[in-house]
Chain A
Amino acid sequence: MQETDIQFLENSFKKYYFDHFDQIKVPERTSEREFGYQKFNSGMTRHLAIKDDKELHLMLIQNIPSDVYCSNAYYTFPNLPMNEKDWKEADLIFDIDAKDLNLPCRESHTVSICNECNEVSKNSSQCTKCNSTKLEKKSLPCNNCINASKTEVTKLSEVLIDDLAVSKENIHVYFSGNEGFHVYVYDSQFQEIGSRERSELTDYISFRGIIPESFGMKKIKPNRASFPDFEDKGWRGRFSKYIFGSKSKRSKIITELLANGYSSFQKTLDDASDNIGVKIDPNVTMDIHRIFRLPGSINSKSGLAKIQCNDLEKFDPYIEASFLSDETVEILANCPIEFKLKNKKFGPYNNEKITIPTFAAAYMICKKLARIA
């Protein structure tokens, strides 16, 4: 990124941190958490301890970070090196990212930026100008992507509440600021479990690793009566609805399943993972030493804020997460894809000099699809 772009983003972010500090959600038990931040074009500063929101505010204003992070873990000494921190517990975190959902629309809103010559082309595997293969993909997620991610969040909440007895108030959903959602679970029975346990929990949530026996299909003498039923709690009930469709078809389909045999049933279960299992990134949940984007902070991949969604269904990130100013700025844009922010349409731009509001300029500059003219 060139110096003028960095300066522009820094100024816009600074104004945000100044005007919108109330957006920043200082996590509870602040002093037990590890903080970290990144500045434009430089590495990560982490292992920071912060006392309260005053100190956090100061840190933001003084450093104007491109990205700010905070641990989900609680430590006795958050500022010491990793193995001396004395880990105590960690909130349970889930990451749902549109890019992991492999939606068909994705191709239509992904561009490739050449690392050699900066040429922007529609999703190709080679630079159309210099043939270089060193390409960086940037996606401008569409509504379909956002909606599909929301569906996963809803599925996740259901499993958390119904199967794992997490109370609704302790589940907080955040838009990540870019392509997905972060779901935080506070004060659950899972605070103190380690990484292997969390990994096992993600298998449960994503319906992975199930064996036919657990759903009534035995290798020898399978028993109709132990097949799941519509009214069953948890995955048995969810699987019933998925596989039988309606109550009336249950008996007929069980007969089919039995006829097809054990390994076919295993295959059915594996396919079900992809359909009814919740699509979460298991690596994120099992990492209990990670620092996560701080709620309320700006994501430098988009210039949008990571904010809490109180009404997920109605939530529109392109209206509610865009906080940068309306002041106009002149940029050189090379953005072949149309996008919408704050209810205004922008693009496509083909290497044009334009004057547009800061929030839209920042969005494109963050995606490397524009620079300050």
Chain B
Amino acid sequence: MLELGQDEIAKYPFLADAGQYLKDQGFSLEQFGSDPDLKHLIEKAYERIRVAADGKIYKSDLDGDHVSKEAALPREVFSFLLAIVLLKLSGMHTLIKRFALAEARRAEKYLEKDLANISDESKNQLAIRVIDDLFSVQVEKLDDFFVIPVSNYLKHSINFHEREWKLINRHVENGQVYLSPHETVRLIRKELGTYINSKIVNARTPTMIPGFEDSVNKLVSLSKKFVTYTVTTGEYPPCIKHAIEVLEKGENLPHSGRFMLATFLLSKGQSVQQIAPLFKNAPDYNERVTLYQLNHLAGTSGAGTQYSCPSCEKLKTQDLCFATSECDNIINPLQFGRKKK
């Protein structure tokens, strides 16, 4: 874990171990709900979430990148930590996503500034260590540039579609890619958001704390504004329906069937976490193995190839096809319901 100074905790509050931080400062969550001097911080935390939900970046009390007044630091960090508590209590995932994203954008600005701060060696050393620790990207400073190994660069840049991120359009030398502070931070932007998001998702959900109810209720109604109902037009093709039925009955679905189902659902945009429970009833279910295999199929682990759903022809040979007239003229289950005569 990084050793953080006060300015740093205020800039990167997600790096702090929340529970420990509160304890070190001599506070408990209950105090925030009851102590009139602290209660306004809950209000502030709510504000922080509301601003993020609106897609804006919360304007902090930081003066430049220093803590302005004595009191600002606790406010800065407490409001972040309390925001997490509120989010957990409300259980609203859309808000968590938006909050994580906004916080990432906020931290990004500081990170970039710290990296560019040539006059303060300790600042950019810290930024380098943050990047190194959280995203395992080994950044090194060389003149005005930050250089990272080509392999590391590739892992992050392949998710960008703009041509200027192609390796050929980069300054490559000695197995390393040369980047400006802005580009360095941009490269790990997505991971920063994912990191903050997972930190919140994995945080323990406390039981309701007296004094927090109002803000939590406000969050629940706030989140209603953002709920987007994903309308699934049409339904699953017969082969997929059949596979789901087999699993639901707790019967054994052959490996090829699981492969078909997983690749189909992944292609439809479902996440590994959403798909995994489907396999729970299978007689040989093992959570770790299932997740490993799904991640592999999704291309998020190991080789990184994303597998695609097999063709109808292939599925016919595997006895997995249960075609109806609605399957006419399609060559892959993914086309089901799309081609209407």
Contact = CB atoms under 8 A, between A and B. Distances in A.
Contacts of A235: 168, 172
A163 interface: yes
Contacts of A86: 302
A223 interface: no
B303 A165 contact: no
Contacts of B36: none
A203 interface: yes
B172 A234 contact: yes
Interface stretch (A175-183, A210-218, A329-337): A210-218
Contacts of B163: 209, 211
B302 to A, nearest CB: 5
Given A87-B303, A197-B155, A204 B172 contact: yes
Contacts of A224: none
A289 interface: yes
A233 interface: yes
Nearest to B302: A87
A189 B259 CA distance: 32
Contacts of B37: none
Contacts of A194: 299, 302-305
A200 B168 CA distance: 9
Contacts of B166: 200, 203-204, 209-210
B175 interface: yes
Given A83-B259, A87-B302, A193 B168 contact: no
Contacts of A208: 168
B149 interface: yes
Nearest to A166: B175
B295 to A, nearest CB: 11
B173 A211 contact: no
Given A166-B175, A193-B151, A197-B158, 9 more contacts: A83-B296, A87-B302, A189-B149, A189-B151, A197-B151, A200-B158, A203-B167, A214-B164, A234-B173
Contacts of B174: 163, 165
Q: How large is the interface on A (under 10, 10 to 19, 20 to 34, 35 or more residues)?
A: 20 to 34
B168 A207 contact: yes
A288 interface: yes
Interface string B254-281: 0100010000000000000000000000
A142 interface: no
Nearest to B163: A211
B259 A164 contact: no
Q: Is the interface of A mostly helix, strand, loop or mixed?
A: loop
A53 interface: no
A195 interface: yes
Contacts of A203: 166-168
Interface string B167-179: 1111111111000
User: What 5 pairs across the A-B complex have the smallest Cβ distances?
Assistant: A194-B304, A165-B175, A197-B154, A214-B169, A204-B167
Interface in B175-196: 175-176
A193 B293 CA distance: 19
Contacts of A165: 174-176
Contacts of B259: 83
B253 to A, nearest CB: 15
Most chain A C-beta atoms within 10 Å of own C-beta, residue among B170, B302, B303: B303
Contacts of A210: 166, 168-169
B164 A193 contact: no
A196 interface: yes
Interface string B294-321: 0011010011110100000000000000
B154 A83 contact: no
A83 B297 contact: yes
A201 interface: yes
Most chain A C-beta atoms within 10 Å of own C-beta, residue among B154, B158, B259, B307: B154
A196 to B, nearest CB: 5
A265 interface: no
A204 B303 contact: no
Nearest to B166: A209
A196 B158 contact: yes
Nearest to B154: A197
A210 B151 CA distance: 19
A235 B166 CA distance: 14
A29 to B, nearest CB: 18
A194 B154 CA distance: 10
Contacts of A81: 255
A189 B177 CA distance: 13
A193 B296 contact: no
B290 to A, nearest CB: 12
Nearest to B149: A189
Contact of A211 (B169, B175, B176, B255): B169
Contacts of B302: 86-87, 194
Contact of A200 (B157, B171, B173, B303): B157
A10 interface: no
Interface in B128-171: 149-151, 154-155, 157-158, 163-164, 166-171
Contacts of B172: 163-164, 204, 234-235
Contacts of B150: 164, 189-190, 201
A288 B296 CA distance: 14
A192 interface: yes
A218 to B, nearest CB: 12
A87 B303 CA distance: 7
A234 B176 CA distance: 11
B301 to A, nearest CB: 9
Interface string A14-53: 0000000000000000000000000000000000000000
A290 to B, nearest CB: 11
Contacts of A288: 303, 305
A256 to B, nearest CB: 23
Contacts of B154: 193, 197, 200-201
28 contacts: A81-B255, A83-B293, A84-B293, A87-B302, A163-B175, A189-B149, A189-B151, A190-B150, A193-B151, A195-B303, A197-B304, A200-B158, A200-B166, A203-B168, A209-B166, A209-B168, A209-B169, A210-B166, A211-B163, A214-B170, A233-B173, A234-B171, A234-B172, A234-B173, A235-B168, A288-B303, A288-B305, A289-B305
Contacts of B293: 83-84
A200 B151 contact: no
Interface in A355-372: none
A211 B304 contact: no
Contacts of B155: 193, 197
Contacts of B171: 234
